[in-house]
A and B are shown apart, each in its own frame.
Chain A
Amino acid sequence: MAQISAKYPREPGFGHWRWQRISAVVTLGLMLYFTYLVASIGTLDYSAAMAFVASPQHAVALAILVIAGLFHAVLGVQMIIEDYIPLANGRLLLVTIVRGVFAIAAMASLVSVVMIAGLI
């Protein structure tokens, strides 16, 4: 990897490639935890869901998942757009919109977790 980055110091796709893998590894660390949460999400009523998210360890795990997972998602969606949407058909605009949507989702999720955890 060091050789590659030395050979092509400004290769624009390299940062994308590297961050996609870094965010993948972080998300993978919480994969089983998150899948179990998803499978049990239907069993959580309001008070159970509040108690769950409010506990510090779950709030921290969810915050990490939101940041790493949505970052990974936006990199992946960008890749799909770049493979299928020609530049002339508004590729750059579409990528910008997708980034905006996921940035808003990430911020809204983080604020929600922090509010529920009672930190503000």
Chain B
Amino acid sequence: MAKPRPLSPHLQVYRPQLTSVMSIMHRASGAVLATGSLLVALWLVALAAGTTAFNPVADAIQHPLGQLVVLGYSLALVYHGLNGIRHLMWDLRIGLEIKQVYQSGYLVLGLTVLVTATLWLAV
């Protein structure tokens, strides 16, 4: 067989830049959210099933490691949401100049930390 065709995206060939790193972070956070949403589904099913099913789940969430998972999930959620707005704006042809792309990129990174921290402190 001939040499296999390369698969996109070719992550190894490019020097990392804010644009490419944030793009792959969007995908990675999406994968985290997809996996985590199955855990949210588990939480709902356990809740409907009753205390014997729910209490171990609640204990796992309250465990420091569980809280770390929940913190990671909420960071991924806020980043993917904010960067998703950025992507939707690009679809509307807004902010496509390279300077604007960098500005919105730094804005999304800053807001991700700010919004996540605010929500966790508000709880």
Label chain A's interface by main secondary structure: helix
Contact present for A70 and B37 (CB under 8 Å): yes
What is the number of residues of chain A that contact chain B, defined by CB distance less than 8 Å? 45
Q: List, in ascending order, chain B residues with CB within 8 A of A83's CB.
A: 7-9
**Interface window among B12-20, B66-74, B95-103:** B66-74
Q: Is A73 an interface residue (CB 8 A)?
A: yes
Instruction: Give the distance to chain B from A53, nearest Cβ to Cβ, in Å.
Output: 6
Q: Evaluate whether A21 and B91 lie within 8 angstroms (CB atoms) in the complex, with A44-B58, A49-B54 already known.
A: yes
* Docked complex Cα distance between A115 and B55 (Å): 18
Contact A38 B7 (CB under 8 A): no
Residues of chain A lying within 8 A (CB to CB) of residue B23? none
Interface 0/1 of A21-62, CB less than 8 Å to B: 100110110011011101111111110011001000000001
On A, residues with C-beta under 8 Å from B are 21, 24-25, 27-28, 31-32, 34-36, 38-46, 49-50, 53, 62, 66, 69-70, 73-74, 76-77, 80, 83-84, 86, 101-102, 105-106, 108-109, 111-113, 115-116
Chain B residues proximal to chain A, CB less than 8 Å: 4, 7-9, 27, 30-31, 33-34, 37-38, 40-41, 43-45, 47-48, 51, 54-55, 58, 61-62, 66-67, 70, 73-74, 77-78, 81, 84-85, 88, 91, 115-116, 119-120, 122-123
